[in-house]
Structure 1
């Protein structure tokens, strides 16, 4: 029932020009952006927002942004604020140096709302039925400079700070890997690939295992400063989880026997 979001995002993004000259001030002067990744990430988020607003309006839904910029997610689609079937949408951005570069994203915290339901998240984690990621991949234009000022009529002289922009939308668990996004943070990393189609099609390891296994894996993944680490890879997790019996809990009910049967089937195919 949520396929409409992916289908319509691609339809409505088709033809959208993702170039930005810079910031227009009250004197009709444009301040160039430079290649700061945080600024460029925010620019792509701004391009995505009206597209999501159109999709929400077409389906009689609200589009909301959190009260704080530091909480998950970037955008929320919902029938109303009491809904327990909200859709979370996070916008992620990364750059590559060449077609052979590995594409890497960080996909949000595994040490907060996935464990206690309310930390660093708008509403409760259990209020969301789906979690999507919109990912933008681009190449940096090293010739672009930041903080240059152009009159509006001279805007065509501005060098855009990025090019070769590609994007995808996919459920988070389908693009997640089994390692943190970096060595000293408690962020989920995407699975490594050089092919954007792998992310667009959601070919990560949890795509086969399912969203509940993804939630269990990252709920119990050892924190960065944890002295005892029960597992740090998917292979280790798949050996660890049968020894836990029926003792592992999620914030929502799940079918333990069905989950374990799926894990055993996965192990026979891949291990």
Structure 2
């Protein structure tokens, strides 16, 4: 199987993913947690809880894909290990694909009518992302993977759910779902990445917060390519990182500043001006300084 066929093959299993995750009316198939006394506890709307349960629901479909297409599947050994799933071709060990499972929820339309989402973190821009020739909190070295994919789930969060309520098995059909209206996507990481960190002061790559860009793979790096994405994030510095390296401030905090920064050096960032976008809030400024320490994912 060639590299460009991997995504198309895995997309064929999305119907199975939907059947495992969503009922015919769009509700989540998971209603809660059950104990040995057949008491059902409402599931939390906490994104980490939802993400883990959704991951468990989708793994059987991914495993079937691996078996039917000749891949060895290797799961991450811990929550912070990258990626969630490694798929290695049994016929060609050089073909190794990273699949990270991510979730996000819709937050509503902006003033231009575009649906926005809460966003997701796409892994650290330190650690294994910069030290690519050996394992650093990763299943394999980053360079071992020929492509890095994000298998994403987008959903609506229910409101007014009483997480303290306990149900019986007989009440199963009456238990409200905490999530509904699921959409799935499979994109290479760089295609849905933003040019800003994922959350607060963590050293994580952020995703786009526009739903259409997630589904279509049209983030700010899509026109620029994976090499620009890699260079941008491998050299991105937070305020703390910049100080530690002797800078008064980060050289850039968005793509437009990155373009200007590259033009100052020997390497010219030869990209048309209209191809450079940014999702950063700071329009040409360096952003607000913070004293909160940076942390890894």
Alignment TM-score, normalising by the size of structure 2: 0.77
Q: Render the CA deviation track for 1:21-80: whole Å, top value 9, x for unaligned.
A: 112323333222032221111121122211211211111101221122211111111125
Which position in structure 1 is the counterpart of 2:142? 125
Trace 1:160-239 onto structure 2 (pairs within 5 A). 160-193=177-210, 196-226=211-241, 227=243, 228=247, 229-239=250-260
* CA RMSD, Structure 1 to Structure 2 (Å): 2.4
CA contact (8 A) 2:105 2:157 kept: yes
CA distance in 2, matches of 1:81, 1:244: 44
Trace 1:136-147 onto structure 2 (pairs within 5 A). 136-147=153-164
Greater CA drift, 159-168 or 214-223:
159-168
Greater CA drift, 86-95 or 99-108:
99-108
Q: Render the CA deviation track for 1:200-236: whole Å, top value 9, x for unaligned.
A: 1110121111111111110000135122211111111
Q: CA deviation at 1:99?
A: 4.3
Q: CA deviation at 1:107?
A: 1.0
Q: CA deviation at 1:12?
A: 3.5
Which position in structure 2 is the counterpart of 1:266? 272
Change over 3 Å in CA distance of 1:63–1:206 after alignment to 2: same
User: What SS does the aligned partner of 1:76 have?
Assistant: strand
CA contact (8 A) 1:110 1:188 kept: yes
Q: CA deviation at 1:242?
A: 4.3
Change over 3 Å in CA distance of 1:237–1:5 after alignment to 2: farther
CA contact (8 A) 2:73 2:86 kept: yes
Unmatched segments (≥5 aa) in structure 2: 23-27, 278-297
Change over 3 Å in CA distance of 1:244–1:119 after alignment to 2: farther
Change over 3 Å in CA distance of 1:59–1:66 after alignment to 2: same
How many residue pairs match? The answer is: 254
CA distance in 2, matches of 1:81, 1:188: 33
**Residue number among 97, 105, 123 corresponding to 2:120 in the alignment:** 105
Trace 1:14-25 onto structure 2 (pairs within 5 A). 14-16=18-20, 17=22, 18-25=28-35
CA contact (8 A) 1:83 1:127 kept: no
CA distance in 2, matches of 1:130, 1:79: 13
CA distance in 2, matches of 1:9, 1:218: 32
CA contact (8 A) 1:63 1:76 kept: yes
CA distance in 2, matches of 1:22, 1:13: 19
Change over 3 Å in CA distance of 1:55–1:203 after alignment to 2: same
In the alignment, structure 1 residue 10 sits paired with structure 2 residue 14: yes
Which position in structure 2 is the counterpart of 1:89? 99
Alignment TM-score, normalising by the size of structure 1: 0.84
CA contact (8 A) 1:134 1:167 kept: yes
CA distance in 2, matches of 1:265, 1:98: 33
Change over 3 Å in CA distance of 1:85–1:224 after alignment to 2: farther
Which position in structure 1 is the counterpart of 2:282? none
Unmatched segments (≥5 aa) in structure 1: 247-259
In the alignment, structure 1 residue 155 sits paired with structure 2 residue 159: no
